[in-house]
């Protein structure tokens, strides 16, 4: 029984960590802040969970300038997952 608990502890220690989730990622948002976050994530090899809004209609977010390279950035983020 003790051996089973040790095996479970080893597995949870290896695969359990911190989850970072960022919601409301859209082409119109504060990209200056997002760039800072992405640089930190890359530096520390963090792969956050990103909640992307494909068609943004939120008036608060629409106040920000549109990033015309948004979908290219999304593709780049997706490529980082496998690294």
Return the domain boundaries, the chain: 28-83
Over residues 50-82, the pLDDT tens digits come to 999 999 999 999 999 999 999 999 999 999 887
Tell me the C-alpha distance between 9 and 37, whole Å: 32
pLDDT of residue 4: 66
Residues 53 and 25 sit within 8 Å (Cβ to Cβ): yes
pLDDT in tens, 6-55: 776 676 666 667 788 999 999 999 999 999 999 999 998 888 999 999 99
**pTM of the shown model:** 0.73
Residue pair 26/17 in contact (Cβ under 8 Å)? The answer is no
Spatial distance between the Cα atoms of 1 and 3, rounded to a whole number of angstroms? 5
């Amino acid at each position: 029984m003790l051996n089973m608990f040790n095996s479970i502890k080893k597995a949870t220690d290896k695969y359990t960590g911190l989850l970072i989730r960022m919601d409301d990622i859209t082409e119109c948002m504060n990209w200056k802040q997002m760039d800072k976050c992405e640089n930190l994530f890359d530096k520390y090899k963090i792969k956050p969970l990103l909640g992307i809004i494909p068609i943004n209609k939120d008036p608060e977010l629409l106040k920000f300038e549109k990033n015309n390279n948004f979908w290219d950035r999304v593709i780049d983020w997706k490529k980082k997952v496998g690294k």
